[in-house]
Amino acid sequence: MLTTADAELATAYPESRDEPQPIHTVYVSAALADVELPGQWGASALALTARHEPSLAALDTQGVLPRVKERLAADPIQDLRLDFEDGYGWRGDTTEDADARRAGRTLRALSMATNPPAVLGIRFKGLTSLHLRRSVRTLELVLDGASGVPRGFVTTIPKFRTVTQVEAALRLFDELERVHGLPSGSLRFELQIESPQAVLGADGAVTLAKAIHLTQGRLTALHYGTYDYSAACGIAAEQQSLEHPVADHAKAVMLAAAAQTGVWVCDGSTQVNPEGSPEQQAAALTRHHRLVTRALERGYWQGWDMHRGIW
């Protein structure tokens, strides 16, 4: 009996993955897909750092600012997602078809660069009945544009709410690999946790925990969706943040469910960007430093970047 239990636990909880987790994931509208993105983001972040170096140095109690600048110069984007969902919107099939093919070509080129992002991919519109047709077509055209599966490729599935969506994703990826002659298991995905039902289902169980153990090794990460999740919990817009109690609860459940499974957990984004006056920029950077420090203290090693100055 115990031997069987030990074997089941070893299979379900293999401890960790071999590759290091990226420190961030950069989200850019697929309409802006370009092989120059990493260099552009790095240059912008370095320029912002230079403008605010005295205040950043004052925050840098660990002496890591020189290493940050080195990383921004050499490896500014570790994880890139070209977005066909909220950051893209509905632009009509003709436009999205063209952007999907171009995104595929861009991802292939980036994956073959001298210092490529370790992880790259797309976020499609989702697996609800409203979005399924468009999502499948977009993914197929991205893979067509890339002439296969680029190294490090992953698809982010937004609006995860039910295990049925994971079962559908597994069937979809199996079929895409079969039809297009892709290596078995090469299509991997992330789940974006934007709904309370992903954390606590109607049956009283943790939906995302059940999902993790159904994914046959295809699931790479859980990403927290700061604002959709908070809004679904009834939190007023001005109170929605990475440090609200509903965010802390959701992320703690994500961390516990993913622990020792090899599935990464990624924190969400902040809506306060370093823009405006120099004082507003400095305040945003100070706030971001506090939020990142807070996340690291709680075991969240990765977060979203949606602005070139937030890294």
pLDDT value for 58: 94
The distance in angstroms from the start CA to the end CA of the chain is 49
pLDDT value for 310: 59
pLDDT value for 188: 98
DSSP output for 139-192 = HHHHHHHTTS--TTEEEEE-S---HHHHHHHHHHHHHHHHHHTPPTT---EEEE
**How far is Cα 170 from Cα 39, in angstroms, rounded to an integer?**
35
- Find all residues with CB under 8 Å of 160, minimum gap 6, and list them: 166, 191, 192, 193, 194, 195, 198, 208, 211
Output the CA–CA distances (angstroms, integers) from residue 122 to 1, 125, 126, in the order listed. 44, 10, 11
pLDDT value for 309: 61
Contact yes or no for 215/185 (Cβ under 8 A): no
Give the residue ranges of the chain where pLDDT is below 50.
Answer: none
pLDDT value for 10: 83
What's the full length of the chain, in residues?
A: 311
pLDDT value for 6: 79
**Digit-coded pLDDT (tens) for 158-167:** 999 999 999 9
Output the CATH code of domain 20-305: 3.20.20.60
Predicted TM-score (pTM) of this structure: 0.94
